[in-house]
Structure 1
């Protein structure tokens, strides 16, 4: 067994990675498959048009140009933002362990904070004064105990979580680009997080204004950056409950602060407790659960960042192997896969059993369909047919 050390992406590789992940219909899952099949982002970019045609796209796939990627890199440099690739030493270790982590994250601030264990705190935007006060106190106590506080910079509970941990270390995850803080009234808070040794993180392009559908993606990162996630004052239909579900799917601990049973603002939090979340009334409730999971000392946030090193080398798979896999597919194999799909998420293993194709063949067809914008991937190794592709 070889001990392969991570290496730093070259400037050329980073540009190609940025182009690939910024191209239409390329997400973390398809990015990983493309790199695995073709061995490099450059080769994957060359293959995209053919893959998209075979997937049945009705119009050409928009591939990010060199000039577009260069402009984003230049803007990042002016703003003090770095793009860190999965596998590089500054990439958050916990985030790297989730299914299909973002290939590139934009970071402003000190990546040294990623080396410290984190816990996420999320909750309602229309928070009560008591909820805000409790959250600030909890974040302060957990931060003083050596934990980094992760949240989403939203109004209410998120703001209180960052505020309580601003001096001990906090990470704010954006739903849009790092040059598009949301809400606007928290711009000063974002600047203070960076000034105090914390970090701002996003997987979205610079210049991207957040939309409603972008917040679940952000919530996935919030959960992925932490050992556990604490929910405070979440209503029954709250984005915080999405964060809790994502945390559970990632194998993270889920905590909730109890509220009055007649308070609708805590109905979601109380529901989590009924479903088995750990009750939190003080910082020790969290520390007792998380401390056994931490297998290394907690360095102070003033620790200088380690040299940024790149991911392990891409697979040495010969691109010709992909062509042989493609040649091994019959004309009706894509139809067989499509017939096994519906708008309801279906497990890929079930598709393999239904079609009697190999896993590699099914994954290849699904990759082509995804790049053509005809399917959507879900957590738990499932895919569904998009209505537009029916």
Structure 2
């Protein structure tokens, strides 16, 4: 670990150049007589010998506090090959949880921190069949779609990985500390390139996003505004040669604008989980659990239900579309809500999920 710490703390040596040095000079590069011939300045050579030493003890102390804490250098056997193939991959990864989850086939799921009702439902509905097909779900532990993705994977009996934009001893956001502990206990892991004691800083999150996409075979964007961290993850995925998937939405929904733009740019439109699985050779459609078709149920008030969609629809608008009195529509909507066909949400009603 010490040589990689030295590289990380030498000015003017980024991950790409550090890996080039390692590749050129071999695993014992720091002892190589050729180091002086690699174009490094005298100041850099001096930093390689001294700049990293104070960090070693606190890092080893953090690792020793739990048996499931690991520090992976770029050349470690457990460093995930999928990420290692990405130019500029982190020189050091800090992991808390099961190392065995890291090399498994992963699908990243990202999206808005403030998803709509439709975004939440899409996340909850798409994750279980991905888990059934053997996918590990990777996300960023943020509130919103990230958190819903981790929760849906756990509820489906799956494994999920969380890549943090802070150190692993400074779990962010704090409200997801229990979720983080649960995903570790169910065979997943927390991952970060930040030192364990580092807090969540703005420049950490784009770096986190490139790890999320780098670990995964493909990235699914559930909901995203025109400018969002989710689109940064999608851009990294494209640059890394990963598949990008997006769920379309109504043009009136600002949270759908980013996804619609991605689809225009070549991302695959997703309507169900098979749209994702069929593009990734790591998964076999045969692995998906086949569920028997449900017996068709007669719709109550079909003319009314036809005018209640997955996005909030105001009562006045429903009544206008059905050409029925508002009071009568309200009464029927209450009946439908009690029967589980619709749900009341801010702004009106939406169709309810019926398992």
For residue 186 of structure 1, report the CA deviation from its aligned partner: 0.9
Aligned-partner Cα distance in 2 for 1:188–1:149: 18
Instruction: Say whether 1:187 aligns with 2:187.
Output: no
**Unaligned runs of at least 5 residues, structure 1:** 1-13, 299-390
2:103 pairs with 110, 115, 130, which one? 115
Instruction: Say whether 1:208 aligns with 2:208.
Output: no
1:233 aligned partner = 223
Instruction: Say whether 1:277 aligns with 2:244.
Output: no
**What per-residue deviation string (whole Å, max 9, x for no partner) do you get for residues 183-242 of structure 1?**
111111111110110011111112111211111111100001111000011000111111
The answer on whether the counterparts of 1:229 and 1:247 sit within 8 Å (CA) in structure 2 is: yes
2:71 aligned partner = 83
For residue 111 of structure 1, report the CA deviation from its aligned partner: 1.2
Normalized against structure 2, the TM-score is what? 0.72
User: RMSD over aligned Cα, in angstroms?
Assistant: 2.9
Aligned-partner Cα distance in 1 for 2:73–2:43: 29
For residue 51 of structure 1, report the CA deviation from its aligned partner: 2.8
Aligned-partner Cα distance in 1 for 2:263–2:117: 22
Give 3-state SS (helix, strand or coil) of 2:65's partner: helix
Select the structure of larger CA radius of gyration: 2
Normalized against structure 1, the TM-score is what? 0.66
2:128 pairs with 133, 137, 140, which one? 140
**Unaligned runs of at least 5 residues, structure 2:** 288-355
**Highest RCO, 1 vs 2 (Cα 8 Å, sep ≥ 6):** 1
Give 3-state SS (helix, strand or coil) of 1:212's partner: coil
Change (3 A) 1:112 1:160: same
Change (3 A) 1:95 1:168: same
The answer on whether the counterparts of 1:24 and 1:62 sit within 8 Å (CA) in structure 2 is: no
For residue 47 of structure 1, report the CA deviation from its aligned partner: 6.3
Aligned-partner Cα distance in 2 for 1:51–1:63: 15
Aligned-partner Cα distance in 2 for 1:61–1:114: 30
Q: After TM superposition, what 4+ stretches of structure 1 lie above 6 angstroms from structure 2?
A: 59-62
2:40 pairs with 51, 59, 63, which one? 51
Aligned-partner Cα distance in 1 for 2:242–2:42: 39
**What per-residue deviation string (whole Å, max 9, x for no partner) do you get for residues 35-60 of structure 1?**
3455435348x869x934578xxx98
The answer on whether the counterparts of 1:110 and 1:199 sit within 8 Å (CA) in structure 2 is: yes
Deviates more, 1:16-25 or 1:142-151: 16-25
User: How many positions carry a matched residue from both structures?
Assistant: 281
